[in-house]
Amino acid sequence: MKQRTLIVGNWKMHLNVQQSSLLVSRLHEHIAMHRDIEVVLAPSLLSLQPISLEIDRRKFRLSAQDAFDADEGPQTGEVSFAMLEGLVHYSIIGHSARRIYFGETLQQVRDKMQACVRNKITPILCIGETKQERLAGETRRVLHDQLTTALTHLTAAEVADLVIAYEPVWAISTFQGEKSRPSDMQQAFVYIRDQVEALYGAKAAQAVRVLYGGSVDAHDAALYLELEDCDGVLVGAASLNYKQFSEIVNQAHVLNIKRKND
Ligand code: PEP
């Protein structure tokens, strides 16, 4: 483990401002400050501003779930990464819900990555294959295409700083929600790092943080976190439950202590 373990909660399109605020106060009560863990909350866009005033920034960081790639313009209804600068530390980009529900293309994801970095926000790039693609033996090709296109305009230093979440679409609760076998995921993490190394060198490949996402909960989080190349987890449904989410953070910390003592 090179850096702090990253635990990201994606609240998707759930919780209004009051409900988000309540969840934040519960998380504050139940999550202790751990120097080895970075906890990131991704509430709806509307809740980001009020929550930013409520959180202890030593304990939690904020992430957007998406934003528009132009910094400003006539795109009515959109919010740009430029507008989020200073408010969030991270932004999720290319989430499968965006790719599937909104038809987000590889090129749009690439442009969002560039806009995100341009505005000093660290991308959490989501990549992953669908069930059909997996069955057709296309997992590597899909990961390769999603990754290489998304990183096109970034420098090695920018790539070193980013977060890549491997989220097989079939494992996400919103879609098929099939539980993956944790040990099977290690191959994908290695493949992702190998691709980064081929494009940006060993330093970037070592530094880039690779997360797992797909129906992770307090029962199985540790099984993913203990994989050699897993730097953290991106949690959807279970992050809406403060007990589950706090427990995941706690397990990550216990695992790090165990690793240190081994
Ligand atoms: C997600 O939204 O990125 C996700 C992984 O969701 P879930 O944990 O609910 O499958």
pLDDT value for 176 = 84
Cα(236) to ligand 1 centroid in Å equals: 3
pLDDT value of position 161: 97
DSSP lists the bridge partners of residue 9 as 41, 235
Give per-residue pLDDT as tens, 20-45. Answer: 999 999 999 999 999 999 999 999 99
Enter the tokens of residue 244: 């589950």
Residue 262's pLDDT band (cuts 50, 70, 90): confident
| CA distance linking residue 181 with residue 81, whole number of Å | 35
**pTM score above 0.95:** yes
Distance 234 CA to ligand 1 centre (A): 7
How many angstroms is it from 151 CA to the middle of ligand 1? 23
Quick one: which atom of ligand 1 is closest to the CA of 235?
Answer: 8
Mutate to test the pocket of ligand 1, among 8, 10, 90, 220 (most ligand atoms within 8 A of CB): 10
pLDDT of residue 150: 98
Q: Which of 8, 11, 12 to mutate to test the pocket of ligand 1 (most atoms within 8 A of CB)?
A: 12
Q: What is the mean pLDDT of residues 162-187?
A: 95
The average pLDDT across 157-168 equals 98
Instruction: Give the 3-state DSSP-derived string for 152-201, with helices as H, strands as E and coil as C.
Output: CCCCHHHHHHCEEEECCHHHCCCCCCCCCCHHHHHHHHHHHHHHHHHHHC
Which of 80, 33, 79 lies closest to 57, judged by CA? 33
Residues touching ligand 1 (Cβ under 6 Å) are: 10, 12, 95, 167, 172-173, 213-216, 234-237
Cα(213) to centroid(ligand 1), Å: 6
As given in the structure block, the two tokens for residue 161 are 């700083």
**Which residues are identified as catalytic?**
95, 167
Distance CA 58, CA 247 (A): 19
| Tens-digit pLDDT profile for residues 80-139 | 999 999 999 999 999 999 999 999 999 999 999 999 999 999 999 999 999 999 999 999
pLDDT number for residue 1 = 44
Three-class SS state of 18: helix
**Mean pLDDT estimate for the chain:** 96
**Residue 174, Cβ density class (10 Å: 0-12 exposed, 13-18 middle, ≥19 buried):** middle
pLDDT of residue 162: 97
Residue 15 has pLDDT above 60, yes or no: yes
Band of pLDDT at residue 195, cut at 50, 70 and 90: very high
Render the burial of 78-94: b for 16+ CB within 10 Å, e for the rest: eebbbbbeeebbbbbbb
